[in-house]
Amino acid sequence: MYRKSKMSWLGAAVLAAALAPMGASAQQKDAGAKEQFFPVLSYRTGAYGPNGTPWANGHVDYLKLINSRDGGINGVKITWEECEFGYDTARGVECYERLKGKGPTGATVFQPLSTGVTFAMTEKAPVDKIPVITSGYGRADSVDGTVFKWNFPLAGTYWSAADILVQHVAKKEGGADKLKGKKIALVYHDSPYGKEPIALLQERAKMHGFELVLLPVTHPGVEQKATWLQIRQQRPDYVFLWGWGVMNSTAIKEAVATGYPRDKMYGGWWAGAEQDVVPAGDGAKGYNALAFQAGAGRVRVHEEILKNVHAKGQGTGKEDEVGQVLYNRGMIHAMLAVEGVRQAQKRYGNKPLTGEQVRWGLENLQIDGPALKRLGVEGFLTPLTTTCVDHEGSRKARIHQWDGQKWVYTTDFIEADMQIIKPMIANSAKQYAQEKKIPVRDCAKELQGS
Amino acid sequence: MFYREAGQFKATYRADQQILPIRQDRLFMAAVLVFAFLVVPLIATPYVFQALLIPFLIYALAAIGVNLLVGYCGQISLGSAAFMAVGAYSAYNLVVRVPELNFLIVLALSGIAAAAVGMVFGVPSLRIKGLYLAVATLAAQFFMDWLFARVRWFTNYASSGSVSTMPVNLFGFTFESPPEKYLLVLAIVVVMTLLAKNLVRSHIGRAWMAIRDMDVAAEVIGIRPVYAKLTAFAVSSFFLGVAGALWGFVHLGSWEPAAFNLNLSLRLLFMVIIGGMGSILGSFFGAAFIWFLPIFLNQVPAALGVPLATTTVSHLELMIFGALIVFFLIAEPHGLARLWAIGKEKLRLWPFPH
């Protein structure tokens, strides 16, 4: 029996393991090329593929636009590579490792579009010196740039989002004091993504005296019968939906089945795309959701994408997808990253920049009125200014409603109330810094130094 | 020709019973260890360490744990990832609440915590067998998913329910760079593999195998099923717990309960089935197959310069991966380890087979 001992070959596996991938990962570094490398982590397959695809298409289309219309960012050509990770954190980390060293200066910035991968990257980015943009997702407390030096939750966090929803509902009721005794249910994806807004909603519930009912839904969210049974029993005045992918359309269908009025339902900005309402058919009419900056629709930048990318047959996805909610979001995310590079170029010169240099650009973003005009997104985005202390830069959103055919804005921009959020961020970031024993930056001092 | 044991005589029981009785095997093993410990850290890139080797080693360790239970003791478990989660969260809580504890002690304690939980969920195995047991172990999976998502004490009241860790510090040395992390994991995996190998050669391992092959007969010859099954659950969970702690601390650095979901349990079970049930070596093969192959397939088109859409590549990856699993299971139902053993037999006769 032991003559054929398998133990001896144990090491062989380790050997094979070590040898096999070495060839594949040999990365050539072309130091001379004037290129800025953008890694694109995407998920076009798997449970969240239907939502990940338009995002990735919009993202890549914008990068293509910069190359074909402007010849790159001030002459520095953009290169990119997509890495499919199927919303799987382990594969996402593999993609991160695969892409972080590519291009003449390494990866510019990572945008994982997955809270799980964001958390893993938050640990890795400071070591590799690559910024992470989590625009509209990720850790809410990473707004605090003194602790989260490398994270940029640009233009909105879940705390901002939840705050805006509460404000809107309060206004609808006729004032925040009218919320007393009301009941709001949060139907959320049972993951860090879905749990993120809870802290803020609890804070608001304490302030206004409304009751918060927490109803988690397990991944991927196709089974919600029990959840909606509870809603039928508890009869909340409003339902906030914090889902992603198939969970959203399922929730709307269940609301139809339960007879819960759709116009009392408010989705977060990841629960307010065409992919979420179309499968629910007519039942989705009247459903509301937050629009992250812009919802659906086309402005000048879309025309330019159609003219410079799609008309040349280089469109990443289908043409009618241009202007959809998630397409726009992918595009905006790419735009913010490109603007970060542009800003950094002002300081470091028009050449390929390292992640560390781009980080400076992201921290000093100045997207004001004229800049929005130059980008072709006036009225579409709100001005955004980041600082060392504030990595969010802008925290406004509108509510849009599905009329059965398209998304229609029902409010103007609402701004999140920083008086409530700021102390929460400070607390949470402080706890993080203590737990991880990381030094807190002194922004005033850095400003003098630079 | 080269691989023959002719002329190697065993004069003592000790020599006859060593793990590697053939000299060539010993030399090969030594070479592999030297390569893994000394050469790899010099030549591998950070990508190879972080994305390939470290996850592979941890998967292999977890697969050994599953193999001890499923392959050696015959108790099918679908709750492996739950025990990894117990290990990971125990380690997290120990580090957060008792920061002065040595990391090796943390690892051992989290393994022990997982072992304790494993024994509790192993109790149904005394009554039910086979598929029924598999369904019962699912309970472990769902219970742990629920526990770590709901009981906020385990995540130290993190607002989003996910936890993050500090780099591993051992005797004042911080394991931060990829080669350092790799060597740490490699050392732990090598020691634990040796432990597993010796365990299955000992009376405990034989008791497990007797239970696996026929529990009634095992009972008749004096093996206590309660003892054998529960030790299998405990030891298996210990390995899984340590693997889980390493997965969280060394590989991910930050994780959410979903990192240890049912998907991971199934993946570990596939590793064991494809690698070879009842084979320590098979655990390594299985881990390599399940972790490396998809990544390799994913990169082939780009490496060959074939321009394919990302979607096409990932669909192809899934299809080819699935086809290969079917192929290998048809070609050799006993797993890759068995293929390897056949190869070794053939090698003895090479180049003149009769």
Whether residue A302 is predicted with pLDDT greater than 90 in this model: the reply is yes
State mean pLDDT over A222-242.
Answer: 93
pLDDT-derived band at A409, boundaries 50, 70, 90: very high
Q: Mean pLDDT, chain A, as a whole number?
A: 88
Distances (CA, A) of B39 to A397, B51, B192: 55, 18, 22
pLDDT at B297: 86
**Which of A10, A24, A90 minimises the CB distance to B284?**
A10
Tell me which of A13-27, A245-259, B295-309, B318-332 is least confident. Answer: A13-27
Chain B residues whose beta carbon lies within 8 Å of the beta carbon of residue A216:
149
Whether residue B39 is predicted with pLDDT greater than 90 in this model: the reply is yes
Contact predicate B240/B66, CB 8 Å: yes
Contact predicate B114/B235, CB 8 Å: no
pLDDT at B24: 86
Cis bond before residue B167 (omega within 30° of 0) = no
The model's pTM: 0.84
Are A196 and B282 a contacting pair at CB < 8 A? no
Distance CA A250, CA A231 (A): 15
Gyration radius of chain A over CA positions:
23
Are B50 and A191 a contacting pair at CB < 8 A? no
Contact predicate A181/A209, CB 8 Å: yes
Q: What domain range is B194 assigned to? A: 46-349
Coil, strand or helix at A267? strand
Chain B residues whose beta carbon lies within 8 Å of the beta carbon of residue A315:
none
Chain A residues whose beta carbon lies within 8 Å of the beta carbon of residue B313:
84
Coil, strand or helix at A28? coil
Tell me which of A270-284, A401-415, B143-157 is least confident. Answer: B143-157
Distance CA B298, CA A84 (A): 9
Whether residue B23 is predicted with pLDDT greater than 90 in this model: the reply is no
In the chain, the amino acid numbered A195 is K
Chain B residues whose beta carbon lies within 8 Å of the beta carbon of residue A26:
45
pLDDT at A448: 67
Chain A residues whose beta carbon lies within 8 Å of the beta carbon of residue B256:
89, 115-116, 119, 191-192
Whether residue A343 is predicted with pLDDT greater than 60 in this model: the reply is yes
Distances (CA, A) of B29 to A12, A326, B3, B215: 8, 53, 14, 35
**Judged by CB atoms within 8 Å, which residues 91-130 of B form the interface with A?**
96
Joined tokens for residue B341:
């053993």
Whether residue A56 is predicted with pLDDT greater than 90 in this model: the reply is yes
Are B51 and A198 a contacting pair at CB < 8 A? no
pLDDT single digits (tens) B26-37: 999 999 999 999
Comma-separated ranges of CATH 3.40.50.2300 domains in chain A: 35-157+297-395, 159-295+400-425
Residue A227 or A10, more confident:
A227
Would you list the DSSP string of A101-131?
A: T-STT-B--B--S-HHHHHHHHHHHHHHT--
CATH superfamily, domain at A159-295+400-425? Response regulator (3.40.50.2300)
**Which of A11, A22, A83 minimises the CB distance to B33?**
A11
Chain A residues whose beta carbon lies within 8 Å of the beta carbon of residue B259:
89-90, 116
Distance CA A137, CA A145 (A): 16
Would you list the DSSP string of A315-368?
A: -SS-GGGTTSHHHHHHHHHHHHHHHHHHHHHHHH-SS---HHHHHHHHHT-EE-
Distance from CA of A448 to the nearest CA of B (A): 31
Chain B residues whose beta carbon lies within 8 Å of the beta carbon of residue A97:
46-47, 50-51
State mean pLDDT over B77-82.
Answer: 92
pLDDT at A191: 84
Q: Does the CB of B303 have a partner CB in chain A at under 8 Å?
A: yes
**Judged by CB atoms within 8 Å, which residues 257-296 of A form the interface with B?**
none
Distance from CA of B306 to the nearest CA of A (A): 14
**Judged by CB atoms within 8 Å, which residues 176-195 of A form the interface with B?**
190-193, 195
Joined tokens for residue A411:
């409010």
Looking at chain B, the whole-number percentage of residues with pLDDT higher than 90 is 51
pLDDT single digits (tens) B261-280: 898 999 999 999 999 999 99
Are A2 and B201 a contacting pair at CB < 8 A? yes
**Which of A81, A91, A191 minimises the CB distance to B256?**
A191
What's the 3-state SS for A199-242? HHHHHHHHHHCCEEEEEEECCCCCCCHHHHHHHHHHCCCEEEEE
**Which of B32, B44, B341 minimises the CB distance to A11?**
B32
Contact predicate B3/B28, CB 8 Å: no
pLDDT at A413: 92
Query: Which among A394, A154, A165 has a CA at the least distance from the CA of A267?
Result: A165
Whether residue A78 is predicted with pLDDT greater than 90 in this model: the reply is yes
Whether residue A1 is predicted with pLDDT greater than 60 in this model: the reply is no
Q: Does the CB of B176 have a partner CB in chain A at under 8 Å?
A: yes
pLDDT at A89: 84
B25 belongs to a structural domain: no
- In sign, the C-alpha dihedral spanning B88, A113, A85, B145 is positive
pLDDT at A450: 55
Joined tokens for residue A122:
């938050």
Are B252 and A123 a contacting pair at CB < 8 A? yes
B153 belongs to a structural domain: yes
Are A435 and B160 a contacting pair at CB < 8 A? no
Are B164 and A15 a contacting pair at CB < 8 A? no
Complex ipTM more than 0.90, yes or no? no
pLDDT single digits (tens) A233-245: 999 999 999 999 9
B239 belongs to a structural domain: yes
Are B51 and A97 a contacting pair at CB < 8 A? yes
Whether residue A390 is predicted with pLDDT greater than 80 in this model: the reply is yes
pLDDT single digits (tens) B137-173: 999 999 998 898 888 898 888 777 788 888 888 888 8
Whether residue B66 is predicted with pLDDT greater than 70 in this model: the reply is yes
Distance from CA of B129 to the nearest CA of A (A): 28
Coil, strand or helix at A265? strand
Whether residue A419 is predicted with pLDDT greater than 80 in this model: the reply is yes
Contact predicate A96/A117, CB 8 Å: yes
pLDDT at A255: 94
E strands, chain B, are 163-164, 168-170, 173-175, 254-255
Are A5 and B60 a contacting pair at CB < 8 A? no
pLDDT at A18: 40
B18 belongs to a structural domain: no
**Judged by CB atoms within 8 Å, which residues 98-157 of A form the interface with B?**
98, 100-101, 115-116, 119-120, 122-124, 127, 139-141
State mean pLDDT over A165-182.
Answer: 91
Q: Does the CB of B318 have a partner CB in chain A at under 8 Å?
A: yes
Are A192 and B160 a contacting pair at CB < 8 A? yes
Distance CA B242, CA B193 (A): 12
Distances (CA, A) of B208 to A5, A7, A281, B133: 18, 18, 56, 16
The CATH code belonging to domain A35-157+297-395 is: 3.40.50.2300
- CATH code for the domain of B198: 1.10.3470
Q: Does the CB of A1 have a partner CB in chain B at under 8 Å?
A: no
Q: How many CB atoms lie under 10 A from the CB of residue A20?
A: 16
Distance from CA of A408 to the nearest CA of B (A): 31
Are A6 and B279 a contacting pair at CB < 8 A? yes
Whether residue A7 is predicted with pLDDT greater than 60 in this model: the reply is no
Chain A residues whose beta carbon lies within 8 Å of the beta carbon of residue B191:
none
Contact predicate B198/A238, CB 8 Å: no
Distance from CA of B127 to the nearest CA of A (A): 31
Mutation choice for B interface testing from A3, A9, A83, A321 by most B CBs within 10 A: A9
**Which of B35, B258, B341 minimises the CB distance to A15?**
B35
Count of structural domains, chain B: 1
Question: Which residue in chain B is spatially nearest to A82 when comparing CA positions?
Answer: B310
B121 belongs to a structural domain: yes
pLDDT single digits (tens) B197-241: 999 999 999 999 999 999 899 999 999 999 999 999 999 999 999
**Which of B193, B258, B303 minimises the CB distance to A191?**
B258
pLDDT single digits (tens) A97-139: 999 988 899 999 999 998 888 888 888 888 899 999 999 998 8
pLDDT at A25: 38
